[in-house]
Amino acid sequence: MNKEIIRSEKLREEYVKIQHPSGLTMLLCPMEGFSTSYAMFTTKYGSVDSCFKTNLEPDYFEIPAGTAHYLEHKMFEQEDGDAFGRFAQIGASPNAFTTFDKTAYLFACSDGFKESLEILLDFVSTPYFTPETVAKEQGIIGQEIGMYDDSAESRVFFNLLSALYVNHPVRLDIAGSVESIAEITDKTLYRVYNTFYHLSNMVLTIACNFSVEDVLEVADKVLKKGVDIEIIRKTPEEPKHIAKAYVEQNMPVATPLFCIGFKGSDAGNRKNFENMILDEMIIDLVCGEMTPLYRSLYEDGLINNGLNGEVMASRDYICTIIEGESRDPKEVQRRLLSEIEKLQGSGFDNELFERCKKATYGRYIGLYSKPETVASVLVSTYFAEMTLYELLDLVAGVSKEQLEARLRENLQADCCALSVVSAQPMEV
């Protein structure tokens, strides 16, 4: 068993990285002064992993959209009950979620940590699918998909991704469609499970009030090493250009919603993650609340409740998204592109840069004080081939020149798309 202490001299904190004999990587971060424990058991498998094989198989296997999310739902069901009931008996609070690039199962508890951890590792390690139970779930998930389809916030976001990307499966809804999930069978789920829920493709992250010895005791009891495999993912070739520059959908909204997106160039797993941090800072410098652009949009009544920005990045994609509400989304986009073009020539204001850097550093420092966030960021940085503390070092080392170069390289008008959800026309 390999054991490594990863330490930050700046924070004077550390966590333990353990390579368990089962093949599972564990990232364990005890935190003093907390009474709760927070654990996440995560696989590097999300909605974009739609075509794959292992080194033991001759052919690629293509799965229906929404399979990762469907599998997440089914994992809690066991032959003799369900995992939710087991957690409830000891007072732990479980949950799970699926994203584009990962699926995570988690719990929080104040007491009964060892028992909760054993339930977590056990139910994720022992799948139970039958044709009957898989078919039963289609109606439940179909209703969930219907809720997403009726959500203006969801539609404006996924419509943007379908405009930015031509072939990449990130353009598809994480939950899939009613038609795609109808194709999922128990055989599909077992095939996916046996590939991506291999312990060498997973990570266990725990933060807060727990004992490393207790974790190892439970892991030794529950986890068994499987046959070594290599996962080979196949992603369609994605062109540099976007699919379409504009997409609009009518829905019952009081004020139009918009998402403006910039499709970035894939630079590889770790580099995409590093660029994500830079791009988040660039959003603040271009249209954050302290910027001239934000003030002019607000004073002219072009934005209602501000602007929200996010950067999505993973193994083979990255994009920048700015969203909000506006009576004239096209004018917001025009002014945004104009401001970006201006800043690409003039560079960022020194005072604004320093303020933004301090605010970003403070925001990331704050992440290290929240157990649930520590466990989550441990997953993200591990999958990005970084340590938890390299993230903070990256922010601390960012220069104005570095951000200006990234702005010129990334936010290009010809890779920009606008998605709008506007009010439905009045019936006469």
pLDDT tens per residue, the chain (428 residues)? 799 999 998 888 999 999 999 999 999 999 888 889 999 999 999 999 999 999 999 999 999 999 999 999 999 998 888 999 999 999 999 999 999 999 999 999 999 999 999 999 999 999 999 999 899 888 889 999 999 999 999 999 999 999 999 999 999 999 999 999 999 999 999 999 999 999 999 999 999 889 999 999 999 999 999 899 999 999 999 999 999 999 999 999 999 999 999 999 999 999 999 999 999 999 999 999 999 999 999 999 999 888 999 999 999 999 999 999 999 999 999 999 999 999 999 999 999 999 999 999 999 998 888 889 999 999 999 999 999 999 999 999 999 999 999 999 999 999 999 999 998 765 54
Residue 155: inside a domain: yes
Same domain (yes/no): 296, 403? yes
Q: Where are the alpha helices (DSSP H) in 244-309?
A: 269-287, 292-299
Residue 428 lies in a domain: no
CA angle 280, 418, 102 (to 5 degrees): 50
Model confidence, pTM: 0.94
CATH number at 405 reads 3.30.830.10
Residue 283 CB neighbours (<10 A)? 20
Number of structural domains found in the chain: 2
Q: What are phi and psi of 314, to 5 degrees?
A: -155, -155
Query: Do 229 and 348 belong together in one domain?
Result: no
Q: Are residues 415 and 335 in the same domain?
A: yes
Task: Establish if 240 belongs to a structural domain.
Answer: no
Range of the domain at 97: 2-233
Residues 16 and 128 occupy one common structural domain: yes
User: In this structure, are 415 and 292 located in the same domain?
Assistant: yes
Q: Of 186, 208, 233, which marks where a domain is finished?
A: 233
DSSP E strands, 160-275: 202-208, 231-233, 246-251, 257-263
Q: At what angle do helices 131-149 and 152-164 cross, to 10 degrees?
A: 100
| H/E stretch holding 209 | none
Residues 216 and 97 in one domain: yes
Last residue of a domain, one of 184, 212, 233: 233
Examine the domain organization and report whether 54 and 21 are in the same domain. yes
397 plus 316 within the same structural domain: yes
* Same domain, residue pair 276 and 398: yes
Among candidate residues 190, 211, 233, the one where a domain is terminated: 233
Same domain, 161 and 256: no
The verdict on residue 370 lying in a domain is: yes
Q: Distance (Å, rounded) from C-alpha 43 to C-alpha 52?
A: 15
Residue 241 lies in a domain: no
Does 22 map to a domain?
yes
112 and 197 inside one domain: yes
* 136 and 41 in a common domain: yes
Q: How far is CA 319 from the centre of its chain?
A: 13
> Is 7 in contact with 13 (CB distance < 8 Å)?
yes
